[in-house]
Structure 1
Amino acid sequence: MSEVRIPWWPLFGVVAVVHLVLLAADASPWDSITKCLAAPLLIGWVLTSGAPRILALALLFCLGGDFFLELDGLFLAGMGSFALAHVCFITWFVRHGAVERLRANPLLVVGLAVAAVAIVVSVWSGIDDPVVRAVLPFYALLLSGTAATALVTERLAGVGAVLFLVSDALIALTVFDRVGTTAVTHVAIMVLYLGAIALLTLGGARLAPPARALAPEPA
């Protein structure tokens, strides 16, 4: 019997488009359901394609973030789950020499650190919860850390990480009442986010396992 091949990427594309349409139409709860189907499809591709399992773990935490953010009162849980996803992404890029490359690109580090500070400062006065105030700077640094390590390691992943940074910055601006919460902003956030996880997955999967990547080439 021939092996059944699941078209993970076409399914991801279909789910992404359907989700965006439902989101624009404010078709609850179907928009939330389709949102939470996106990451599992990428996890399926990672697990069946031989891609690094750490990417599947990162996407699992993204799924947790997607789920928690759809539920009232679980904003911090969602932020925490996404924070763990960024730890996974950063770990993968660091294993491929990101720290050494960043030492040679100090302006990139400074620029992304400034971006993290700018995100926090722009929403600071709108944050009422002291716990959110305490953890937001660390989350912003993780966002910038993913962007920095990805940009110097793999081009597609770097673009994805920047999209993630912009998407989450827009979320912060809407959640803390710095920009209007409209269908357009919701759709923009999700276009950026879906592109982010897709490119981080593709770019991360293009990197060889560290042991193989660092092994000397045969003479």
Structure 2
Amino acid sequence: MPKTFTPYLVLCAVHLVLLETGPDWSITATKALLMPLLALGVVLAARRARPEPLETPWLLLAAIGLSWAGDVALSFPGMFVVGLGAFLLAHVAYISVFVRMPGGRRRPPAWTLVYVVWFAGFIALLGPHTGALLVPVALYGLVLGLMATFAAAHGRVMAIGGALFVVSDSVLGLGRFLPGYEFAPLGFDLHDLTVMGTYLAAQLLISLGVLAALRAAARSSRAPGRPVGATAP
């Protein structure tokens, strides 16, 4: 892992501890700094790689920036729809990253059909309790599942990142919409820790996977006798 992500990892650890110890203002403040530090790590790592195509790192940064907007919005009461919209656009940006990456037209593995089952269960379980938000929540779930499916086409690291994003948002949705969720086994005392832990890991793994693919493509394009932009067989 590039050392450029060390500040992000340190702040992730601090934020996760604060989720259990407070105070609330420190949780909000550290959450607002997480995605900027991830973006900084991406920028510094991408500068070394000189990746092709050049627009891919910018799309990755756009996805991280939209995620930051969603983080900030969800930190305040009454901003759920704004946060949902920001994350919806973030997932669209991630999908754009995946299809523009070297080998971006790969077919997702067969196991990603599990996301079809997940989406059906997601709507069946939460749909009756979403009220006027049914359509936006369903649209969000569809785009989230597509993002995870496209991510899985680029290897294990990104597949795990996409899956963790689904886990994070699924737990968040349960806490938001499912009646009686707070009385479920575990309480769910670890709700916030689970949501943020899986989310932060997902963002990091996706970023690392994209950067690794771009570095590999850059090395291949600079190899003797190989045309610029060509990929390894």
TM-score (norm 1): 0.85
TM-superposed deviation, 1:206 = 1.3
- Find 2:115's aligned residue among 112, 115, 119: 112
Note if contact 1:98-1:150 (Cα within 8 Å) is conserved in structure 2: no
Moved over 6 A (4+): none
Question: Is this contact kept in 2: 1:163–1:193, CA < 8 A?
Answer: yes
Q: Which residue in 2 is equivalent to 1:61?
A: 66
Q: Secondary structure at the match of 1:207?
A: helix
Contact 1:66 1:78 in 2 (8 A): yes
**For 1:207 and 1:147, how far apart are their aligned partners in 2?**
17
The amino acid that maps onto 1:41 is: L
Which residue is equivalent to 2:50?
none
The answer as to whether partners of 2:70 and 2:84 remain within 8 angstroms in 1 is yes
- Distance in 1, Cα, partners of 2:79 & 2:231: 48
Which residue does 1:122 correspond to in 2?
A: 125
User: What is the CA–CA distance in structure 2 between the aligned matches of 1:175 and 1:91, rounded to whole Å?
Assistant: 28
Q: Which moved more, 1:24-33 or 1:193-202?
A: 24-33
Q: 1:168, 1:189 within 8 Å by CA — same for their partners in 2?
A: yes
SS of 2:24's equivalent? coil
CA deviation profile, 1:139-175 (whole Å, cap 9, x unmatched): 1111111111111113211111100000000000000
Query: Which residue matches 1:37?
Result: 33
Structure 2 regions of 5+ residues with no counterpart? Answer: 48-56, 222-227
Percent of residue pairs bearing the same amino acid type:
29
Shift of the alpha carbon at 1:93? 1.2
Partner Cα distance (1:94, 1:8) in 2: 25
What is the deviation of 1:33? Answer: 1.1
**Distance 1:66-1:216 versus aligned 2 partners, 3 A rule:** closer
- Quick one: which of 185, 195, 198 aligns to 1:192? 198
1:15 aligned residue? 11
What is the CA distance between 1:208 and its match in structure 2?
2.3
CA drift of 1:116 comes to 1.5
Q: Check whether the contact 1:156–1:199 (CA below 8 A) recurs between aligned residues.
A: yes
CA contact (8 A) 1:156 1:203 kept: yes
Aligned counterparts of 1:10 and 1:47: Cα–Cα separation in 2: 13
Instruction: For 1:150, give the aligned amino acid.
Output: A
Structure 2 counterpart SS, 1:101: coil
CA shift, 1:201, in A, is 0.8
Q: So what's the TM-score if we normalise by structure 2?
A: 0.80
Alpha-carbon distance, 1:108 to partner: 3.4
Q: Given residue 148 of structure 1, which amino acid in structure 2 is its aligned partner? A: T
Q: How well do the aligned residues superpose, as a CA RMSD in angstroms?
A: 2.3
What residue ranges of structure 1 are gaps of 5+ in the alignment? 1-6
Is the aligned partner of 1:215 residue 2:216? Answer: no
How has the CA–CA distance of structure 1 residues 138 and 108 changed in structure 2, closer, same or farther, with 3 Å as cutoff?
Answer: farther
Tell me if structure 2 keeps the 8 A contact 1:116–1:143.
Answer: no
- Cα distance in 1 for residues equivalent to 2:161 and 2:232: 30
- Which of the numbers 45, 50, 53 marks the counterpart of 1:49? 45
Q: Distance in 1 between matches of 2:105 and 2:46?
A: 26
Determine if contact 1:108/1:148 at 8 Å carries over to the other structure.
Answer: no
Return the alpha-carbon distance in structure 1 between the equivalents of residues 114 and 19 of structure 2. 33
